[in-house]
Amino acid sequence: MGKVRIAGFGVSLDGFGAGPAQDLEHPLGVGGEAMFDWLFSTRTFCAMHGRDGGETGVDDTFARRGFENVGAWIIGRNMFGPVRGPWPDDAWRGWWGDEPPFHTPVFVLTHHPRAPLVMQGGTTFHFVTEGTEAALAVAREAAGRQDVRIGGGVETIHAYLRSGLVDEIHLALVATLLGRGERLFAELDLPALGYAVTETAPAERATHVVLARRKVH
């Protein structure tokens, strides 16, 4: 069985994982895009979106690592799109166009049922209404021996961390201040949850920090 991990999640210096006022024009909240400039500039990100070029170096190494050995994703509904409440129709198909960059099954946490959405390139969005543990169970089954990657947003990450279900966290600490938004670790005692820093690496656009959860016997 693979790991359950969070990877490539940008955090501001004042601890925010998303900016305020998330909407169609600001999917990461106002100012939130700055936390992912380190990723958008990498060769890995460019290749995923069918573009040439991009920067190599430490940022690119961590971007590439984040996608290695991933057999399934779990994301929150806010990461899938700005639609709230019951789905009015099937028109919204995600932020990523006809061929999303996941290339695996993606399990979307939601309170409102929706039929699976098959996209180009191997991505299928499955909408899970039974909660975080149910989503993880089906994601593990889909991933097999590979890892399950937990995507955003902040609320989804909180839920899995509080439940002690995440084995590894990779954060990209970015030199920006948001002032408002969603605090990534609000009311979470990471040492009490078993997490410790196992790796740090300064890079061109971010400082990368990896935390791992010790096994409880």
* Per-domain boundaries in the chain: 4-21+28-82+100-213
Q: Which three-class secondary structure state does DSSP give residue 29? A: coil
Measured in degrees and rounded to the nearest 5, phi and psi for residue 198 equal -115, -15
The pLDDT, as a whole number, for residue 217 is 43
Q: 127 with 110: CB under 8 angstroms?
A: yes
pLDDT tens-digit map of 14-54: 999 999 888 888 888 888 889 999 999 999 999 988 889 99
The pLDDT, as a whole number, for residue 17 is 93
Please report how many Cα atoms fall inside a 13 Å half-sphere around the Cα of residue 171, on the Cβ side.
20
The pLDDT, as a whole number, for residue 200 is 98
Among 58, 29, 30, 25, residue whose Cα is nearest residue 44: 58
Would you list the DSSP string of 13-68?
Answer: TTSEEE-SS--SS-TT-TTGGGGGHHHHTBHHHHHHTT----B-SHHHHHHHHHHT
This prediction has a pTM of: 0.94
Top CATH class of 4-21+28-82+100-213 equals: alpha beta
Q: What's the gap between Cα 35 and its chain centre?
A: 13
The pLDDT, as a whole number, for residue 77 is 93
**Could you say which residues of the chain have pLDDT below 50?**
217
Q: 135 with 127: CB under 8 angstroms?
A: no
